[in-house]
A and B are shown apart, each in its own frame.
Chain A
């Protein structure tokens, strides 16, 4: 049984008929070709599939595509607007990544974090990112990137 859904992905309208069991992560990657969003653990732990759903960071491997009907979705592909988003630039400048697999979800979570708390302390950044796992960097440079982006975005 196909269900018709309409949503806005990175500013573009999308209409699809989907199986109810299709996960939002699979809709983005396999139906829309937006492979910036990664699927890591597939068990709602690692956060590499994080996207913005109506402005809130959620794990798209744990949302059904039908639940996103009528919503606005922003993936890593939708962040840059000509230039890199300040958070992307800050990750670049501060070497906030090594292998890069967690990075799209990490950056989306960091954007969400600063949206709700524009000037977080280091402790708030570390706690705010507990839903995103990075197995390379040990988080230090990610925290520095968030601090740098906060400075840029507040400046």
Chain B
């Protein structure tokens, strides 16, 4: 299968890339290409031009400074999963990245492409939400920062404008007493999450919960935070009973029902996997 014809641009700087996007309204950004090329081969997408950002040095690299972890948009899943810095400062992200696709996909797919594509069944959006990530964005009019909670707008729609690209993901480094976990129930053929649960909890010296977040992929049109269930855990001892009670009334708004699973089944998965993720996060805290 061939994609439709397109013009190919390979800018060497972010500034050049966003200018090409501004000049070509029908252009798409190409990073690892493992979401974009398949849909182009199926002719579900036929952009007039591709802007290949894969060789822009400023979009590479992982660094830690002043209590935060910064990951360039073109860093691959494989690099994230195996990075000592990510494993130390945001182990949830390393765990989620290591569960995406297969080895070959993880060598090519990038965090920036993943978050910008915003596939609801992908693994990184819920992790980014649960970690309180800040997404740095550049456009022809300048740069701005968007919180992960404002970034995912709707099904495969983000806060990015047509001439903007995601340049860097910034995550506050995990503090003492913090544990996290990502667990998913995947479709056995595609590997995509029917439901993925990302949990982060923090405990004080006495074992009492001082902070919790719980976010899901795959359940609705965007990654979603179960903020009420998570906040009801604060002050608890994070026992299995406390977790079950926090999740008993949880309902994800607008859960998706499709050929793979009904909305009700996804709600059940969210409760079960949410509990599993929270228990594992607690045990790691």
Asked if A and B bind, the verdict is yes
Q: Chain A interface (Cβ within 8 Å of chain B)? A: 1, 3, 19-21, 23, 26, 42-45, 47, 50, 53, 56-59, 61-64, 66-67, 109, 112-113, 128, 130-132
Q: Which residue of B lies closest to A1 (CB)?
A: B7
Query: 8 new A-B pairs (CB below 8 Å) besides A21-B3, A21-B4?
Result: A20-B7, A44-B37, A57-B103, A59-B104, A63-B33, A64-B37, A66-B10, A67-B33
Does more than half of chain A's interface fall in helix, strand or loop, or is it mixed? Answer: mixed
A62 to B101, CA, bound (A): 13
Contact B2 A56 (CB under 8 A): no
B54 at the interface (CB under 8 A from A): yes
Contact A67 B107 (CB under 8 A): no
Q: Which residues of A contact B135 (CB under 8 A)?
A: none
Take A1-B8, A20-B6, A43-B38 as given contacts and tell me if A66 and B52 are in contact as well, using a CB distance cutoff of 8 Å.
yes
Contact of B8 among A3, A23, A62, A131 (CB under 8 A): A3
Take A42-B1, A62-B37, A67-B52 as given contacts and tell me if A47 and B102 are in contact as well, using a CB distance cutoff of 8 Å.
yes
Take A21-B4, A44-B38, A66-B10 as given contacts and tell me if A58 and B52 are in contact as well, using a CB distance cutoff of 8 Å.
no
Contact B50 A62 (CB under 8 A): no
A21 to B8, CA, bound (A): 9
Take A21-B4, A21-B5 as given contacts and tell me if A130 and B10 are in contact as well, using a CB distance cutoff of 8 Å.
no
Contact B7 A44 (CB under 8 A): no
B105 at the interface (CB under 8 A from A): yes
B108 at the interface (CB under 8 A from A): yes
Chain B 1-44 residues near chain A, CB threshold 8 A: 1-8, 10, 30, 33-34, 37-38, 40-42
Contact B108 A131 (CB under 8 A): no
Q: Which residue of A lies closest to B41 (CB)?
A: A42
Contact B108 A62 (CB under 8 A): yes
Q: Which residues of B contact A44 (CB under 8 A)?
A: 34, 37-38, 105
Contact B103 A128 (CB under 8 A): yes
Q: How far is the CB of B6 from chain A (nearest CB, A)?
A: 6
Q: Which residues of A contact B3 (CB under 8 A)?
A: 21
Contact A58 B6 (CB under 8 A): no
Q: Chain B interface (Cβ within 8 Å of chain A)? A: 1-8, 10, 30, 33-34, 37-38, 40-42, 50, 52, 54, 78, 101-105, 107-108, 190-191
Q: How far is the CB of B44 from chain A (nearest CB, A)?
A: 12
Q: Which residues of B contact A21 (CB under 8 A)?
A: 2-6, 40
Contact A63 B108 (CB under 8 A): yes
Q: How far is the CB of A57 from chain B (nearest CB, A)?
A: 5
Q: Which residues of B contact A19 (CB under 8 A)?
A: 5
A59 to B5, CA, bound (A): 21
A130 to B104, CA, bound (A): 9
Q: Which residues of A contact B108 (CB under 8 A)?
A: 58-59, 62-63
Contact B103 A67 (CB under 8 A): no
Take A21-B4, A23-B2, A66-B10 as given contacts and tell me if A59 and B54 are in contact as well, using a CB distance cutoff of 8 Å.
no
A131 to B8, CA, bound (A): 29
Report 8 cross-chain contacts, Cβ distance below 8 Å, ordered by A residue. A1-B7, A20-B8, A42-B1, A43-B42, A45-B190, A56-B78, A62-B38, A64-B33
Contact A62 B34 (CB under 8 A): yes
A50 to B3, CA, bound (A): 19
A75 to B95, CA, bound (A): 31
A64 to B9, CA, bound (A): 13
A109 to B105, CA, bound (A): 12
Q: Which residues of A contact B104 (CB under 8 A)?
A: 47, 50, 57-59, 109, 131
Q: Which residue of B lies closest to A108 (CB)?
A: B104
Contact A66 B105 (CB under 8 A): no
Of all A-B residue pairs in the complex, the 10 with the closest CB atoms, nearest first, are A131-B102, A20-B8, A56-B107, A131-B104, A21-B3, A130-B102, A59-B104, A62-B37, A42-B1, A57-B104
Q: Which residues of A contact B190 (CB under 8 A)?
A: 45
Q: Which residues of B contact A112 (CB under 8 A)?
A: 103
A63 to B4, CA, bound (A): 15
Contact B41 A131 (CB under 8 A): no
